Structure 1
Amino acid sequence: MAAQAEGRIDEERRASRPRVVLINPNTNRSTTSRMVQIAQEAAGELSDGPGGLAIEGATVSSGVPLITNEPALNAAADAVLELGMSLMPDAAGVIVSAFGDPGLDALRRRLSIPVAGIAESSFREAAEGARRFAVVTTTPDLKAAITARVIGEGFGAQFAGVWLTPGDPARLMAQEEALLEALLRGIEDAVRQDAVEAVIIGGGPLAAAARVLAPKSPVPLIEPIPAAVRRMAQMIRARS
């Protein structure tokens, strides 16, 4: 009987948690699953108790498996908007989980619920305490878009720039050890060359790598997905 009662309590707690949908603007569903797992772990670390938010994943139906350039980023914005609009009836919030925040601004104009992007959320955390920060990522063709996003969010004065891993992004992403080595080298280069005080790993699909590298980084490493989960929790609390 006690076990049954505990089970009912757990179900009631899950049902009472705000439902937040994490949208993957890339079409790779396995990437969505990995990102949702990391978001759920971050939700479990919130100050309002384990699982303060109920995180679910949604994957856009059109686009590319891995966004690596501005045309794909722009196309993803339309797909994100279409998917996000369909989530309105029973979602408490939406997280756009691609670095570059495709569709974020359009969703905010159309939805009455909180919408957070992993890029903007990571900029906010990296810039706390007036820290100088850098972005390390795998996509050279998105460097200009990332820089524009940082400046647009008002953090240009603290931004040291984008450090890039060498080689083809998709090929590097398929080699876990090589990816981790390349990203760590980028982190160390940013710290050595520009004395940055925080580093962001720029990319939703890089979330698992960011989690592995966090304890190895010589400066605080900002993980964009957990940053967005924390920002979403703040936004929902502010509304309630």
Structure 2
Amino acid sequence: MSRILLINPNTNRETTAAMVAIAASAMPDHHFAGRTAPFGESMIVEPQALATGTRAVSTILADELAEAEGFDGVIIAAFGDPGLDEARRLGTVRVCGIGEASFHEASADGRSFAVATTTPALERAIAERVEKAGLSSRFIGSFFTPGDPFAVVADPERLKEQLSLLVAAAIRADAEAVIIGGGPLAMAARDLGAGHAVPIIEPVPAAPRRIAAMLHPC
């Protein structure tokens, strides 16, 4: 059984627990251990918080990968993949981010895809991560809920309703798959999985599938 470290780059321990549970459900033959950022924001909604998340990920990796037991792989569990590039440069374990994993899953079989999420201030950062993954030619763009992201996420029913409207808008823009972008949106993403004409991609379970493929290539 592979041991996978799931790092939540924000400080919300409830989000960490929910993401670990979803990851374990997606890949029950792997063991997932969650770690929560020791400093930073409760939700990453703008570039400065993303940069802080990068530092938090580096801090956690420095602690965890120094342990004798170690991990076989690492998942960066924030949609902007903060710290992913830095973790890869360490070269000690296989690493993937939930954003990167979802881009690859959404674009499978040449599909065009879009992102539906709550953080308009991260529009450029999302596009840059798509470009980093080499998938810009298939990317329709990002669609954002109106209003304060914290208020939207705090109201689960409002969140699902608004994300569903974004999915419909993305489909009208010719998206053939839509990613629900963000670790704190993981439960909403699961609820939106049915009822739409195109695949709804959940980043949190996409990452365990991708890290498992990296660890155990066919």
TM-score by length of 1: 0.87
Q: CA deviation at 1:195?
A: 1.3
Query: What code does the residue aligned with 1:61 have?
Result: P
Using the alignment, how far apart are the partners of 1:206 and 1:217 within structure 2? 17
* Matched residue, 1:38: 22
* Secondary structure of residue in 1 paired with 2:44: coil
* Secondary structure of residue in 2 paired with 1:94: strand
- CA deviation digits over 1:155-208, x for unaligned, max 9? 11000000011110000111010000000000001101x111000011011111
Using the alignment, how far apart are the partners of 1:121 and 1:30 within structure 2? 22
- CA deviation digits over 1:31-80, x for unaligned, max 9? 1011111111101xxxxxxx221011100101000000001001110110
Q: After the TM superposition, which parts of structure 1 deviate over 2 Å for at least 4 consecutive aligned residues?
A: none
The aligned runs of 1:82-97 (5 Å cut-off) are: 82-88=59-65, 89=67, 90-97=70-77
* Matched residue, 1:235: 214
Query: Does the aligned pair in 2 maintain the 1:85–1:111 contact within 8 Å?
Result: no
Query: What code does the residue aligned with 2:11 have?
Result: T
Using the alignment, how far apart are the partners of 2:81 and 2:38 within structure 1? 17
Q: Over the residues paired in the alignment, what is the CA RMSD in angstroms?
A: 1.1
1:69 aligns with 2:46: yes
* Matched residue, 1:78: 55
Count of aligned residue pairs for this structure pair: 215
Query: What code does the residue aligned with 1:157 have?
Result: S
Using the alignment, how far apart are the partners of 1:85 and 1:187 within structure 2? 38
Structure 1 gaps of 5+ residues are 1-16, 44-50
Q: CA deviation at 1:217?
A: 2.4
Query: What code does the residue aligned with 2:119 have?
Result: T
TM-score by length of 2: 0.96
* Matched residue, 1:11: none
Question: Which is richer in helix?
Answer: 1
Q: CA deviation at 1:85?
A: 2.3
1:59 aligns with 2:36: yes
The aligned runs of 1:150-161 (5 Å cut-off) are: 150-161=130-141
1:205 aligns with 2:184: yes
The aligned runs of 1:175-214 (5 Å cut-off) are: 175-192=155-172, 194-214=173-193
Query: Computing the radius of gyration over CA atoms, which structure comes out larger, 1 or 2?
Result: 1
* Matched residue, 1:12: none
Query: What code does the residue aligned with 2:8 have?
Result: N
Q: CA deviation at 1:87?
A: 1.7
Query: Does the aligned pair in 2 maintain the 1:85–1:107 contact within 8 Å?
Result: no
Structure 2 gaps of 5+ residues are none
Question: Equivalent of 2:8, from 10, 21, 24?
Answer: 24
Using the alignment, how far apart are the partners of 2:50 and 2:194 within structure 1? 30
Query: Does the aligned pair in 2 maintain the 1:201–1:224 contact within 8 Å?
Result: yes
